[in-house]
């Protein structure tokens, strides 16, 4: 556990996660403005981010595309916003 803590401190991973998360959230919010009929309600902390999708068909396409790009994603099946 001490070795892990040392790597986190040495590589400044907490600050890097914060910076990366801020960039991710900024871009997700831009996408919400560009495509308000498709995605909404971007939110997050660090690199843990979420957004709502208009319907299940769009959600499924996004999930497939993100997986094809090699993104690590977790998704929840909620009501659509339209």
The two structure tokens encoding residue 23:
């960039």
pLDDT digits (tens, 9 = 90+) for 32-81: 999 999 999 999 999 999 999 999 899 899 999 999 999 888 877 666 55
Residues in a beta bridge with 52: 40
Mean pLDDT on 6-30 = 97
């Amino acid at each position: 556990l001490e070795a892990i803590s040392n790597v986190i401190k040495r590589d400044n991973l907490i600050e890097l996660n914060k910076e990366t998360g801020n960039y991710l959230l900024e871009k997700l919010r831009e996408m919400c403005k560009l495509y308000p009929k498709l995605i909404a309600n971007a939110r997050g902390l660090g690199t843990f981010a979420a957004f709502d999708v208009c319907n299940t068909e769009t959600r499924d396409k996004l999930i497939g595309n993100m997986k094809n790009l090699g993104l690590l994603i977790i998704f929840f099946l909620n009501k659509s916003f339209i």
